[in-house]
Structure 1
């Protein structure tokens, strides 16, 4: 196995030769074999060990075992301890998910703090099989069936081609000591149940099951690449990026024979999970929405609009003082006194500076807002009616700002100026306000 491992890591990860590597070591069979292998090769390594305090004295025994091994072999080691049960309870997570969140957060923290390049873990072929079955049982798409990736950002898994049987045989032949995790014998966890009850049956049916799975996953990865290529091509035909938003043309989308698959491919990375609601949105009435944690999808006539959820509350107000010449947040605007006017537009207005009172207030529009639209001789109109006339989508309405003077609207920003603040023959001082 040593030669096979050496050839594998040199051919698949040649860039590791001059890098500083962390090894995640639990003290179990797999991680101790990985540590043994890399210690014998000319790599610069250090060990990371997490004590999750889930097995009382046994957890501290693991930590002591690894610390002693590293001292004896002159290997740098970093350890930490977590109150995993309390963390899981506080954040309403399963113990396994909590442990994963804690360890990977710490791993990435140390990679940056200690200026190391990569973290190596001891996931192997049997882990990959178990993960495949778990994802299959949960109704996963291609992403969950192609297997544990050999590399994911700074995480590298060099033992993936090796079976648990190969690793055990190597450990016994080389008299490598390891610690047995007593919780691995319990079948109360899904992964352990699959490991003890299902995997042996699969291997009994086909002794080469792991090799067969690797071939299948290779085909699935090729299929995924084809899907991604097709997805990019169709995206360019259907989608249009407008600022931070993405607009999907429903007339074009619905002509595709498998438009639901494309929607999944495009929206999955934004954290959506209510896929049936998203698919129903295509035929829903205008104004319906589906939310993810940081994004939302809005049906607006014959368009689906993907938009980030704004962190600015409707209650937020921003003051503009008399000496301010520019505003950089939440909008970019410039203000300056001018001697004459040029052609105005929705993005540029000219107001009688003697009619306004500082500080001006920039705020989101509110239901019930009324103003006097420029050119309508002082007739009042609800801002909501203006939005309806302009056929603004819900997102466009929510992104609209109002510029006010003493609670009177000067400008529905970017859309219409108020008649009451326009310049006339008696104006002595002109203020130009421009949306950048």
Structure 2
């Protein structure tokens, strides 16, 4: 197996050489073998072990074992522990999901703190087969049947080309010691149920099951790549980005042979789940929205607009600005300069007659009933009508800030249009330049 592993690294992961690596180690068979193989190749590995406090003394003995083999192999080792069951209960998620989130978040903290290039995990071919069957029982698109990825961001899984039988044979040949996790024997969890009751039957039917599975996974990955290439082409033709949002042309999406399937491929990474509702947006009235955990998809006239759901901040939506202040940085950045030697002409700046301003100035979001007198236009205009005429979407409107006088008169729809009532002119003795920086 060592020679096969060396060839595998040279062919598929040559970038692992001469960089700092963090290896996730439980103390079990797979991670111990991965550690041994990496040390044989003189890769620069440090070890990371999580004690999830789920098996009482057994969990603590796992931690002691990992510390021991780390010392013997002269590998630097990091350990931590989590009250996993308590955390899962508080977050109302399963223990397995909680453990996964905890360990991967901790790995990334170590990466940042110690400048590791990649994190290595010991997933193998049998794990990939189990994941495939889990997705099969729950239902999935093609991407759910392409196996565990060998590389995902900075996570590398160099044992995916090897079966558990190969790994066990290597451990026995090299007289390696490892810890057995007693929870792996129970059929309480779906993965273990598939491992102990389903896969053995499949292997009886086809003794070459893993070889056949590896070929199938390769074929499915090739098919997924063709889909990805097509989706990239469709995305370039039917969408564009602006101000951190993605705009999808409804008419072009409707022309596709399978709009729902294309929408799934275009939007799957944004964690949407209600795909019938997403499809219905194509024929919905303006203003209809569909939410995922992280994003919102809005129907706005001829477009579906995708934007991230903003994280609520403590920044107030109503800020007073004193006459003595030359800058503010929260919740947005504004710079105030009296009688500037050089005036900047752009939508990011305005010049006003300071004697017409009444302090403290107010920075706020727009409200129903707001109106202003747009520069370059006659009369006054409701802000809602201005937004509509300028084709500013519902999502964009929520991001717009207004600069107002103490009497709540709009001075500037920031980064869009100034109110002409406060314009500085040649007769203005004291002008004030206000610059917005995004």
Smaller-chain TM-score range? 0.7 to 0.9
Q: Does 1:22 align with 2:22?
A: yes
Alignment partner, residue 368 of structure 2: 367
Alpha-carbon contact 2:245-2:305 (below 8 Å) kept: yes
Change (3 A) 1:336 1:134: same
Is the 2:290–2:297 contact (alpha carbons within 8 Å) kept by the matching residues of 1? yes
Partner of 2:208: 208
**Which residue in the other structure is 1:261 paired with?**
261
| Number of residue pairs the alignment of both structures matches | 434
| Counterpart secondary structure, 1:106 | helix
Correspondences of 1:323-362 after superposition (within 5 Å): 351-362=352-363
| 1:172 and 2:172 aligned | yes
**Residue in structure 1 matched with residue 112 of structure 2 by the alignment:** 112
Matches within 5 A, 1:142-291: 142-291=142-291
Question: What is the TM-score when the length of structure 1 is the normalising length?
Answer: 0.86
How far is 1:361 from its partner? 1.1
| Displacement after TM superposition at 1:187 (Å) | 0.6
Which secondary structure state, in structure 2, belongs to the residue aligned with residue 408 of structure 1?
coil
* Aligned residue number for residue 138 of structure 1: 138
Q: How does 1:405-420 map to 2 (within 5 A)?
A: 405-411=405-411, 413=413, 418=419
* TM-aligned CA distance change 1:216 to 1:364, over 3 Å: same
What's the counterpart of residue 103 of structure 1?
A: 103
Tell me the alpha carbon deviations over residues 219-266 of structure 1, each in whole angstroms, 9 at most, x when there is no partner.
Answer: 122122222221122222211222222221111221111232332222
Partner of 2:83: 83
Q: Distance in 2 between matches of 1:426 and 1:115?
A: 59
Distance 1:94 1:16, change over 3 A: same
Note the alpha carbon deviations across 1:403-431, whole angstroms, 9 max, x for none. Answer: 21123313351566556546799976555
- Report SS of the residue matched to 1:18: coil
Q: Which moved more, 1:72-81 or 1:329-338?
A: 329-338
8 Å CA contact 1:400–1:412 kept in 2: the answer is no
Query: Which moved further from structure 2: 264-273 or 418-427?
Result: 418-427
Gapped regions of structure 2 (runs ≥ 5): none
Q: Which has the larger radius of gyration?
A: 1
Query: Which deviates more, 35-44 or 55-64?
Result: 35-44
SS state at 2:119 partner: strand
Aligned to 1:39: 39
Q: 1:35 to 1:381 in 2, by over 3 A?
A: closer
- Contact 1:409 1:418 (C-alpha < 8 Å) held by counterparts: no
Residue 350 to residue 92, structure 1, CA distance change in 2 (3 Å): same
Q: Show CA shifts across 1:327-378 (max 9, x none).
A: 6665566655669xx9x9987766543332122112111123355666898x
Q: Please state whether the residue corresponding to 2:409 is helix, strand or coil.
A: strand
**1:352/1:158 CA distance change after superposition, 3 Å:** closer
Q: Using a 3 Å threshold, how does the CA distance of structure 1 residues 405 and 67 change in structure 2: closer, same or farther?
A: closer
- 1:184 to partner: Cα distance: 0.9
CA distance in 2, matches of 1:350, 1:2: 71
In 2, are the aligned partners of 1:410 and 1:421 still within 8 Å (CA)? Answer: no
- Aligned 8 A contact 2:128 2:148 in 1: yes
Bigger mean CA deviation after superposition, 418-427 or 167-176: 418-427
| Paired residue secondary structure (1:222) | helix
Write out per-residue CA displacement over residues 311-330 of structure 1, whole angstroms, 9 at most, x where no aligned residue.
57795123344355666665
CA separation in 1, counterparts of 2:264 and 2:5? 38
* Contact kept? 1:346, 1:415, Cα under 8 Å: yes
| Residue 4 in structure 1 maps to residue 4 in structure 2 | yes
Query: Does the CA-based 8 Å contact 2:356-2:422 persist in structure 1?
Result: yes
Alignment RMSD, CA only? 3.3
- 305-314 vs 189-198, which moves further: 305-314
What is the TM-score when the length of structure 2 is the normalising length? 0.86
